[in-house]
Amino acid sequence: MEIKKNPKSNLENYSKIFMQIGLVLALFVTYAAIEKKTYDRNIGDLGSVSMNAELEEETVITERIEPVKPKTPPPPAPEKIEIVEDEKEVEETVIESTETDETEAVIIEVEEVEEVIEDVSFMIIEDVPVFPGCKGNKAELKACFSKKVQKHFSKKFDAGLPNELGLSSGRKRVFIGFKIDKSGNIVNIQARAPHPKIKSEVIKVMKQLPKMKPGRQRGKPVGVKYSIPFTLIVE
């Protein structure tokens, strides 16, 4: 015969209730532990301490000492003091004024300084020197002057001299420079040639140029510099 258990005595049916009661108790214990108040332990009475005392700052008092300036001794007294009596007349020095009266006429003499114009180049002269026989305007007078000088050189120069000196054949350059002074004379003749004898011949020929009408700058006669190259053909 099998013994049957009473369903009321079976504890498995109450497991859920026990679990809920356990959770409620756990939450209650946790809450009680959190809400429990604790107090600091009081260790004797140390008395009251007053913090109202102000800290006194130490102040250093400094005193400014002014440097003592040395006293300047008074100027020495004159060795002799001259006493002038009231009745004695003292000569006074009269200083004449340099100012002029409005009624007085002031005459200033100005010396005229003659303007000195240096030598001017033939290329920029206002009024070019005039070779005898040349006429026309400034450009025509310039062209005529150069043509006459070249013609004079070709006519007067000894063409056989270069061959006599034994120079190598070919073209030889000769540079000539001179000045037409304020009176129209030919002066300061300079030459550069391939041989000293040719240089001497060139200077001799240029000295034979006729007297010119002088060039003028600002209406005044001036010295005019002129230069020209020549080519000699040596056979």
Model confidence over 137-164: pLDDT tens digits? 999 999 999 999 999 998 999 988 888 8
β pairing state of 120-121 and 224-234: parallel
Res. 122: pLDDT tops 60: yes
Domain count, the chain: 1
Mean pLDDT of the 62-84 span: 59
Q: Is residue 94 part of a domain?
A: no
Residue 165 resides in a domain: yes
Band (59; pLDDT cuts 50, 70, 90)? very low
Q: Is the pLDDT of residue 180 over 50?
A: yes
Where residue 129 falls among pLDDT bands split at 50, 70, 90?
very high
The strand pair at 220-221 and 170-180 is best described as unpaired
Confidence bin at 77 (pLDDT 50/70/90): low
> Span 219-223, mean pLDDT?
92
What integer is the mean pLDDT of 15-36? 82
Question: Do 130 and 212 contact (CB within 8 A), yes or no?
Answer: yes
151 falls within a domain: yes
Q: Is the pLDDT of residue 187 over 80?
A: yes
Answer whether residue 126 is part of any domain: yes
Contact 172/234 with Cβ under 8 angstroms? Answer: yes
Tell if the pTM clears 0.75, that is, is over it: no
pLDDT of residue 22: 84
Distance CA 153, CA 226 (A): 14
37 domain-assigned:
no
What pLDDT score does 165 carry? 87
* pLDDT value of residue 230: 86
Residue 158 lies in a domain: yes
Residue 95: pLDDT over 80: no
**Among 17-26, 76-85, 219-228, which stretch is predicted with the lowest mean pLDDT?**
76-85
Asked if residue 173 belongs to a domain, the reply is: yes
Q: Is residue 88 part of a domain?
A: no
Greater pLDDT, 58 or 232: 232
Q: Tell me the range of 38-52, 70-84, 170-184 where mean pLDDT is highest.
A: 170-184
Residue 160 is part of which domain span? 120-234
User: In this structure, are residues 175 and 164 in contact, taking their beta carbons and an 8 Å threshold?
Assistant: no
